[in-house]
């Protein structure tokens, strides 16, 4: 149990014994004591004054005195300053905590809580490779899934693949026109990149034909709508929906190339899924729910036969759910898939990791579920995140200016190589060990940089900045983990000896921070924000670095002090590794 929870329970028990009335955790706050005051944790007394009818000084004396009298092994001293009760936790508590937790490789991991959650992320289109924007999505989704697992949830990682539609047909038409039968194998290009090139070629040809139409005197709207290559793509989509064998065969072949490419990238970045859904299998879902909604007057038909829902009262306007020709739109498919998942998986919550440009769509999805009285309506959660931009600005797929995920990973590994060689500490590594190290550092730097920012915020990605060994980066944390492992290899921990003695300020600061790991994981889980964990791990590594620079471990003043510092070091390495693993980042033993 974390010390804040222990203090909370102790305060409630003392208050109820002293004043003979019930108290709950929300009646008061507990914060870390500010650096300028003596103490470890502070109980804010102001919110208790009305209930106890006491002055801050009197309440503080009653409470502080009783805490020390009742639990001297936990509370050492207290002081009261302007309505704040500052409590110093007993040295005995910290020594006991260190003894019990130093060797734990997954500190604070929770037992199964019986709740089942699906986290849906990635959602790629099969007309182009994964890009930098996808990486933020994937890293967020994967990390949230792992954090929830750590908190005791049963978690399914889900992915919906957008494998049909006009954008897919654009790549197909361009391949038919310009490929001359080329394949990824004959071209020597990874499958998803190969297909993506034809999506760009389609757009180039489309713009050329629009220009030709304008030159012939067509107005802009007509030139754009009646461009031959676009009409061919639209015709191909109709044939796909009708089940045309030739079109379906080409579609399956080109999607197969893309899936092979995706799988290679997923393996590179250490991402995986438990369930994969394909839009080609789900795009007809939801129509039955719409028909039920019409009967319940949740939806209404317009004169042209299209079906809508009125969400004016919710500030969302009117939303189309079926076109006039009876075909579904994305929201229809999404409600159908949500229903299918609820029935098949019996999940308690579904977390959709989707960019903030889809905030309106996700609000509508939840409102439709609520209006229909669907049982999972309250369990839809949109983890909305901001877009990733490069220093040069936004990326555009059809213009071919998107930074492919594979390219950015290769660049990160190269930067990792250059930075590592500059340090000159890996001369005894084999070629294979070096390649593994560059990959761990490069991908780790990329993940940490994308996860250290609150998901709600837009961000600019800078490869050079992300891989600095001395800043707020993944490599800085990895380096400190490797340094600790080196210390532990050279110095033996006496497992039979109990930690003893008092703590110097930096030793105490490090231990107090270690004890906060489980509450930080809980915070990241509750806020759906891996950045809270990333910031914490950086603070931990930074504090250890200060501690290491200030105090010798191998040449400590006494053997007892050496053992104390070794236990602190091991606990720090274990906590860094556990925290970084929750972000999907490996930490090397040497670097």
Return the CATH number at 480: 1.10.730.10
**What is the total count of domains within the chain?**
4
At residue 267, the 3 state secondary structure works out as helix
Which residues span the domain enclosing 172? Answer: 165-271
d(CA 357, CA 320): 18
> The tokens of 547 are what?
């501690």
Burial class (CB in 10 A: 0-12, 13-18, 19+), 290: buried
Is residue 72, in this structure, part of any structural domain at all? yes
On whether the CB atoms of residues 544 and 477 are closer than 8 A, the answer is: no
Quick one: how far is CA 398 from the chain centroid? Answer: 27
For residues 50 and 194, membership in a common domain is answered with: no
Say whether both 65 and 17 belong to one domain.
yes
Q: Which two tokens stand for residue 569?
A: 């070091």
Is residue 291 domain-shared with residue 249, that is, in the same domain? no
**418 plus 504 within the same structural domain:** yes
In-domain check, residue 49: yes
Residue 467 burial (10 A CB sphere; 0-12, 13-18, 19+): buried
Residues 246 and 298 in one domain: no
Euclidean distance between CA atoms 488 and 554, whole angstroms: 10
Determine the Cα–Cα distance for residues 284 and 333; give it in Å rounded to an integer.
6
**Residues lower than pLDDT 70 in the chain:** 392-402
Last residue of a domain, one of 42, 61, 89: 89
Q: Which residues pair with 299 in a beta bridge?
A: 309
Question: For position 399, what pLDDT does the model report?
Answer: 47
Secondary structure (3-state) at 53: coil
Domain final position from 48, 63, 89: 89
Q: Are 434 and 561 within one domain?
A: yes
The confidence score (pLDDT) of residue 280 equals 93
Residue 589 CA to residue 591 CA, distance in Å, equals 7
Q: Flag whether 171 is in a domain.
A: yes
Other CB atoms closer than 10 Å to residue 337's CB: what's the count?
21
Do 295 and 267 lie in a common domain? no
Mark whether 263 and 301 lie in a shared domain: no
Angle subtended by helix axes 431-451 and 132-150, to nearest 10: 90
Mark which of 89, 117, 151 sits at the end of a domain. Answer: 89
Query: What pLDDT was estimated at residue 464?
Result: 77
Whether 53 maps to a domain, the answer reads: yes
pLDDT at 401: 55
Distance CA 398, CA 203 (A): 6
Rounded Cα distance between 524 and 203, Å, is: 42
Provide long-range contacts, Cβ within 8 A and 24+ apart, for 553-556.
553/487, 553/491, 554/487, 554/490, 554/491
Q: Cα–Cα distance between 369 and 335 in angstroms, integer?
A: 7
Judge whether 310 and 293 are in contact, CB under 8 Å.
no
d(CA 337, CA 458): 29
Q: How far is CA 517 from CA 510, 520, 538, 565, 589, in A?
A: 11, 5, 12, 19, 21
Same domain for 572 and 528, yes or no, is yes
CA angle at 516 for the pair 512 and 522, rounded to the nearest 5°: 175
| Distance from C-alpha of 203 to C-alpha of 230, rounded to nearest angstrom | 9
- Domain membership of residue 50 (yes or no) is yes
- CA distance readout (Å), 89 to 36, 40, 513: 17, 6, 14
- Cα–Cα dist 148/529, whole Å: 11
User: Is 94 part of any domain?
Assistant: no
CA angle, 541 then 544 then 547, to 5°: 155
Domain co-membership, 422 together with 451: yes
Q: Under DSSP, is residue 258 helix (H, G, I), strand (E, B) or coil?
A: helix
Q: What are phi and psi of 84, to 5 degrees?
A: -120, 125
- 501 and 544, same domain (yes or no): yes
Comparing CA positions, the residue from 526, 528, 514 lying closest to residue 579 is: 514
Q: Do 482 and 411 sit in the same domain of this protein?
A: yes
**317-322/307-311 β-pairing:** antiparallel
Work out the number of other CB atoms within 10 angstroms of the CB of residue 315.
8
Evaluate whether 581 touches 146 at the Cβ level (below 8 Å).
Answer: yes
How far, in Å, are 7, 496, 509, 511 from residue 99 at the CA level? 20, 10, 17, 11
- 3-state secondary structure (DSSP) of residue 149: helix
Report the distance separating Cα 461 and Cα 459, nearest Å.
6
Residue 71 in domain: yes
């Amino acid at each position: 149990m974390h010390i804040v929870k222990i203090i909370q329970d102790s305060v409630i028990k003392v208050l109820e014994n002293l004043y003979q009335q019930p108290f709950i955790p929300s009646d008061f706050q507990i914060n870390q004591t500010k650096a300028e005051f003596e103490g470890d944790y502070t109980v804010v007394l102001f919110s208790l004054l009305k209930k106890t009818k006491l002055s801050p000084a009197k309440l503080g004396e009653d409470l502080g005195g009783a805490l020390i009298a009742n639990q001297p092994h936990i509370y050492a001293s207290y002081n009261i300053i302007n309505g704040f009760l500052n409590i110093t936790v007993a040295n005995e508590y910290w020594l006991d905590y260190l003894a019990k937790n130093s060797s734990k490789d997954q500190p604070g991991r929770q037992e199964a809580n019986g709740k089942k959650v699906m986290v849906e992320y990635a959602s790629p289109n099969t007309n182009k490779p994964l890009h930098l924007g996808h990486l933020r999505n994937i890293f967020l989704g994967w990390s949230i899934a792992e954090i929830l697992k750590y908190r005791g949830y049963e978690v399914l990682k889900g992915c919906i693949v957008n494998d049909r539609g006009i954008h897919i047909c654009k790549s197909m038409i361009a391949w038919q026109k310009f490929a001359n039968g080329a394949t990824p194998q004959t071209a020597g290009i990874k499958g998803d990149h190969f297909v993506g090139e034809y999506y760009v070629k389609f757009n180039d040809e489309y713009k050329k034909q629009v220009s030709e139409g304008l030159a012939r005197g067509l107005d802009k709207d007509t030139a754009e709508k009646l461009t031959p290559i676009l009409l061919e793509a639209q015709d191909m989509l109709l044939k796909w929906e009708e089940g045309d064998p030739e079109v379906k065969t080409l579609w399956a072949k080109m999607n197969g190339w893309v899936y092979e490419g995706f799988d290679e990238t997923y393996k590179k970045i250490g991402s995986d899924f438990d369930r994969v859904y394909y839009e080609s299998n789900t795009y007809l879902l939801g129509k039955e729910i719409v028909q039920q909604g019409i009967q319940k007057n949740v939806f209404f038909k317009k004169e042209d036969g299209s079906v809508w829902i009125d969400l004016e009262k919710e500030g969302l306007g009117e939303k189309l759910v079926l076109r006039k020709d009876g075909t579904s739109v994305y929201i229809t498919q999404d409600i159908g898939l949500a229903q299918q998942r609820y029935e098949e998986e019996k999940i308690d919550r579904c977390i959709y990791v989707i960019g903030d440009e889809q905030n309106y769509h996700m609000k509508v999805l939840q409102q439709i579920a609520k209006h229909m009285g669907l049982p999972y309506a309250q369990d839809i959660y949109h983890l909305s995140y901001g877009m990733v931009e490069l220093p040069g600005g936004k990326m555009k797929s059809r213009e071919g200016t998107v930074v492919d995920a594979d390219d950015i990973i290769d660049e990160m590994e190269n930067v990792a190589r250059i930075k590592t060689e500059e340090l000159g500490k890996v001369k005894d590594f084999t070629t294979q060990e070096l390649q593994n190290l560059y990959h761990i550092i490069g991908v780790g730097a990329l993940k940490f940089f994308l996860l250290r920012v609150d998901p709600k915020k837009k961000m600019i990605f800078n490869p050079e900045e992300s891989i600095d060994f001395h800043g707020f980066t993944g490599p800085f944390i990895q380096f400190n983990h490797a340094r600790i492992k080196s210390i532990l290899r050279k110095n033996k921990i006496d497992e039979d000896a109990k930690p003893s003695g008092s703590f110097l300020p930096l030793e105490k600061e490090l231990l107090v921070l270690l004890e906060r790991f489980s509450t930080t994981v809980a915070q990241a889980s509750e806020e759906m924000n891996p950045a809270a964990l990333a910031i914490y791990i950086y603070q931990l590594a930074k504090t250890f670095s200060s501690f290491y620079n200030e105090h010798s471990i191998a040449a400590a003043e006494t053997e007892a002090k050496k053992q104390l510092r070794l236990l602190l070091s091991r606990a720090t390495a274990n906590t860094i590794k556990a925290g970084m693993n929750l972000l999907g980042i490996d930490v090397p033993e040497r670097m």
